[in-house]
Amino acid sequence: MPKQNKLLHFAASAARTLHLWPLIVRSGLFNSARRRKYPDTIVHLDVVLTECCTLRCKSCSNLMQYYHHPENLDADEVISSLRKVFAAMRVSQLKLLGGEPFVCQKALIKVLEYLKDQTDRFDEVDIITNGTLIPSEECINAMKDTPKLKVVFSNYGELSSKLKEFSELCGKEGIAFDIVGDDSWWDFGGMKLREEKESKTQHRFDGCYSRRLCTSLYRGKLYVCPRQAHAIRLGLVPEESSEMVDVMSLEFDDPAKLHDAIYALIDRKKRISSCKYCGCDDWIKVPRAVQAERPLDVT
């Protein structure tokens, strides 16, 4: 990872740990100047492998709790969309996630096999897991063979029942790992339409850390944030073509065109439709990973 990106990454982690996000995002410290400094790099890219999860957290900001029929994504389609993104942009931190990515280990292995030959296109690849599963030997080997890879455990206490065993396995096999986890989460609220002034919605978007840290590649399309991606998939907000990039569209076979479209998306100034259904700026803290008995309905 370039030195400057490392510093930013470290500062962002420290800010999260110290609960400084509300102050920092409002101060505009992490603003679009960073993107302008690295116009050929997506600083953070979430690559979704599955909607399936072993947990059902009521306050999952990515909306997994609303999937009644979650699916694993097709690995070849994920790779095709990544191939097009890499032709247009580098990625600093590439995150493989779900849901829980270790529920679809065959797809994960295939994606890792692709990534291991693309190491000039990214600075690091993190697999984000809730520590509830132990990967197969084949999957462990694929992780070992992928340079710049790290397993990032979200520690949900007793719910992360395999975290200890899995992290010890990583240590034994020489796979880098990190364990992260706060006692509480910021609650983005339910998917209800907020009757509010346009300026309030725009202010939410302006200060949103998710749009800065979680550009999402999902089902061949690039979204501003995961909440937008999944809200559209779940039919909770309309799909607006001007608010995402259809990476697989033929017009983006030209990498220069795709580059410009991606840059415009990540440097976007106008709020997106899903911001009207989001409470990320309410700064409400809730206990982490409280489980729902069944998938939630959107009322």
Residues of the shown chain interacting with ligand SF4 in the complex, contacts defined by CB under 6 A = 204-205, 208, 210-211, 224-225, 227-228, 272, 274-275, 278, 280
Nearer to ligand SF4, 236 or 292 (CB): 236
Nearer to ligand SF4, 129 or 228 (CB): 228
Residue 57 β-bridge partners: 291
Minimum gap (Å) between residue 297 Cβ and ligand SF4: 20
What are the distances in angstroms from CA 33 to CA 30, 39, 190, 264, 274?
Answer: 8, 10, 32, 13, 24
Nearer to ligand SF4, 225 or 261 (CB): 225
Minimum gap (Å) between residue 208 Cβ and ligand SF4: 3
Tokens representing residue 65 in the block: 């709790």
Minimum gap (Å) between residue 272 Cβ and ligand SF4: 6
Minimum gap (Å) between residue 237 Cβ and ligand SF4: 9
What are the distances in angstroms from CA 156 to CA 92, 180, 188, 283, 289?
Answer: 27, 9, 18, 20, 7
Whole-angstrom Cα Rg for the chain? 18
User: At 150, is the secondary structure helix, strand, or coil?
Assistant: strand
Contact by Cβ (8 Å): 80, 86: no
Minimum gap (Å) between residue 242 Cβ and ligand SF4: 15
Nearer to ligand SF4, 146 or 274 (CB): 274
Nearer to ligand SF4, 20 or 133 (CB): 20
Nearer to ligand SF4, 160 or 274 (CB): 274
Minimum gap (Å) between residue 278 Cβ and ligand SF4: 3
Instruction: Report the run of H or E that residue 97 belongs to, with start and end.
Output: strand 90-97
Minimum gap (Å) between residue 225 Cβ and ligand SF4: 3
- CA atoms within a 13 Å half-sphere pointing along the CA-CB vector of 91: 28
Tokens representing residue 29 in the block: 């410290």
Residue 91 β-bridge partners: 42, 122
Nearer to ligand SF4, 46 or 100 (CB): 46
CB atoms within 10 A of CB 273: 16
Minimum gap (Å) between residue 62 Cβ and ligand SF4: 10
Residue 96 β-bridge partners: 47, 127
What are the distances in angstroms from CA 7 to CA 12, 14, 106, 207, 265?
Answer: 9, 10, 34, 21, 24
Question: Would you call 70 exposed, middle or buried from its count of C-beta atoms within 10 A (0-12, 13-18, 19+)?
Answer: middle
